[in-house]
Amino acid sequence: MSDDEDRKKDEMTTIPHNELRPGAVPPNASISRKLREFYNAVQEEGIPDRFLELLERLEQAEKNAKSVNAK
Amino acid sequence: MSREDEIDDRGFKRDLLASLPNLRAFAVSLTGRHDKADDLVQDTIMKAWANQSSFTAGTNMRAWLFTILRNEFYSQMRKRGREVQDSDGLFSERFSVHPEQYGRLDLQDFRKALDKLPDDQREAIVLVGAAGFAYEEAAAICGCAVGTIKSRVSRARTRLQELLGVSGESDYGPDAGDAAITSRAFGS
């Protein structure tokens, strides 16, 4: 394999994180990171009580309906 | 009710609960605000509950719920008519609702940029880049071809880079070392 081919291969391969110069972040990496940060921030808020209560009510309504049907 | 039915019911509720934080984050991404997102999630829960029988146990409940929520979102938008494009004033109102929830200032900037994307690009990049779906799953949720999702994600990335003025270096100079740590901590 010639040096030229080696270089071409290198250029086409994604640069691993640890080989980046300090201060250099690939643009897509910082976009992806911010997207996940934003998304995770919402996820970490947990489940609001209104949804837990709603599910309780739905479950109870279903049980009631079934016990009526069973009679 | 048989014992098996009861176990199935509990499984349904448990899986639904497990998917809720992710589903809600998707709703916030689509609507751009918490109050509307929570209304949308509530409608989705009720639809999902009423259609339990159409869910095939053992298949991907998260994808099923995302599909319901997405359909609900677009059908409500069609009913109401497209809302007025965001002005800066509306932005400040929207983002002052829960400013602490977006933490650092640059995360709020990111939110604003995300909100400026066309709906189809926003949902594509969120599904693939944050919600944890494969391109194929995202395509199924959006009812389009895998290639369409890929090109939407790519256009969304380019647009976000433009909006945020990300040039690749210097913008993130002092913070660059955090990138690897953050992605490990939030590993998706």
Amino acid A22: pLDDT:
58
Which of left, alpha, beta for B166 (phi over 0: left; psi -120 to 50: alpha)? beta
Whether this prediction's pTM lies above 0.90 is answered by: no
CA distance B114 to B54: 33
CA distance A13 to A41: 32
Mutate to test the interface with B, among A21, A36, A56, A71 (most CBs of B within 10 A): A36
Confidence of residue B5 (pLDDT cuts 50, 70, 90): low
Is the pLDDT at B120 greater than 90, yes or no? yes
Is the pLDDT at B156 greater than 80, yes or no? yes
B73 alpha-carbon distance from chain centroid: 11
Confidence of residue B39 (pLDDT cuts 50, 70, 90): very high
Is the pLDDT at B40 greater than 90, yes or no? yes
Confidence of residue B179 (pLDDT cuts 50, 70, 90): very low
How long, in residues, is chain B?
A: 188
Residues in chain B within 8 Å Cβ distance of A25:
168-169, 172, 176, 179
> Is B179's CB within 8 Å of A17's CB?
yes
Contact B25, B69 (CB under 8 A): no
The more confidently predicted of residues B11 and B23 is B23
Confidence of residue B6 (pLDDT cuts 50, 70, 90): low
Strands (E), A7-64: none
Distance from the Cα of B86 to chain A's closest Cα (Å) equals 20
Q: What is the mean pLDDT of chain B?
A: 80
The more confidently predicted of residues B71 and B96 is B71
Count of CB atoms situated within 10 Å of the CB of B170: 10
3 state DSSP class of A30: helix
CA distance A39 to B30: 11
Quick check: A68 contacting B, CB < 8 Å?
no
Contact B135, B146 (CB under 8 A): yes
Amino acid at A18: N
Per residue in A2-55, pLDDT (tens digit) is 455 555 444 444 444 444 455 555 666 789 999 999 999 999 999 999 999 999
3 state DSSP class of B143: coil
Amino acid B65: pLDDT:
97
Amino acid A63: pLDDT:
87
Structural domains of chain B, ranges and CATH numbers in brackets = 1-80 (1.10.1740.10), 104-168 (1.10.10.10)
Is the pLDDT at B2 greater than 80, yes or no? no
Per residue in A44-60, pLDDT (tens digit) is 999 999 999 999 999 99
